């Protein structure tokens, strides 16, 4: 699978602290190295935000899947991400 950030998701990612960025990057790499990365995700009930989410500590990564690509739509703290 291939990881693609939307422009807005990449900006959100860049605004996070360096340690948080490294943690999220490491987890995403781990998920992608697995045979089925979706087993680490949960489907979202409200499809306005995307179809799936990864939980990485207090942060959430919302994404959709198209063909063999994971498209990151939003990255942020759990208290802010669903607004």
pLDDT tops 90 at residue 66? yes
Going along 1-83, which residue ranges are E strands? 2-5, 41-43, 52-56, 59-66, 69-77
User: What residue ranges do the domains of the chain occupy?
Assistant: 2-77
Does the domain at 2-77 match CATH 3.30.2310.20? Answer given as yes
pLDDT tops 90 at residue 1? no
Q: Is the dihedral of CA 30, 71, 40, 24 positive or negative?
A: positive
pLDDT at 47: 86
pLDDT tens digit string along 5-59? Answer: 999 999 999 999 999 999 999 999 999 999 999 999 999 998 889 999 999 999 9
pLDDT at 83: 84
pLDDT at 33: 95
């Amino acid at each position: 699978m291939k990881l693609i950030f939307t422009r807005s998701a990449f900006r959100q990612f860049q605004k996070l602290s360096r340690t948080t960025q490294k943690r999220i990057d490491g987890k995403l790499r781990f998920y992608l190295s697995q045979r089925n990365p979706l087993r680490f995700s949960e489907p979202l009930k409200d499809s306005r935000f995307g179809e799936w989410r990864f939980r990485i500590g207090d942060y959430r990564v919302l994404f959709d899947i198209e063909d063999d690509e994971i498209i990151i739509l939003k990255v942020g703290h759990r208290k802010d991400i669903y607004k």
